[in-house]
Amino acid sequence: MKTDTNLKQDPREDVGSLNARLQSLEAGERIEFLAEQFSGRILATTSFGLQAAVMLKLLKDRAPGIPIVFIDTGYLFPETYRYAAHLQEELGFKVQIYSPAVTAARQEALYGKQWEGGPEEMTDYARVHKIEPMNRALQELGADVWISGLRHSQSSARSQRGFAEKQSRTLKGYPIIDWDDEKVECFIRDHGLPRHPLVEAGYVTMGDWHSTRPGSKGSKESTRFNGEKYECGLHLDSRQQDFQI
């Protein structure tokens, strides 16, 4: 797939054209297009969540040169860490792990269990454990374009997102944003992909152990942060974030 010369040199100023181009492609083609259009300045992220295998399989098959970043908050379920190791071995790739600059023990000793507090404390928690390491990944890998596996059906906050958007100074692309749960499940089944072990325990979404609980698809948004919010801290409105790139 060739680079689209119709896009302006700075893609962050031409998000509308990029959205239209991505909409005309299939998911794998979107990944190929983004990889070629923004070669050398792009990365992807994975949370090793319940459906992360889909994006990882597409990335491995269609754009294996894109670095994949894993933000390790230090509070993930043991099953998630084991699943991450298994999936990397199964698909034959290796993530680049970024962790907070301070340990979980130090953070708790100084500020307590912030995830049990109100919105301001939860925001501070996300800034330390998610935003700072993500900023560092963007800087160290020289990226200002970021591929993520967000989908419309995951939450109301994601239902109106396009295939690409600006978040502060970073351009984000969502190759499977229009996939529903049925399409995701068919892809996992057809490709024989390993499933996260906590699916069988009734989890319908996945995050840190202290702020994620089992639930039903109909009440998915109530399974995170005691129902007070759903977003993990990385995919909020750019006015609420401070991505440095």
Question: Catalytic residue numbers?
Answer: 232
Dmax (CA) of the chain: 53
Instruction: For residue 197, give both structure tokens.
Output: 């072990």
- Residue 71: partners with Cβ closer than 8 Å, 6 or more residues away: 45, 47, 98, 99, 130, 133, 134, 137, 234
Handedness of CA 10, 30, 236, 193 (dihedral sign): negative
* Beta-sheet pairing, 42-46 with 68-71: parallel
DSSP conformational letter for 40 = T
DSSP class of 71: E
Q: Beta-carbon neighbour count of residue 203 at 10 Å? A: 20
SS3 content of the chain, % helix, strand, coil (to 5): 45, 10, 40
The count of C-alpha atoms lying within 13 angstroms of the C-alpha of 145, restricted to the half-sphere facing its C-beta, is: 23
- Here the tokens at position 170 are 């970073």
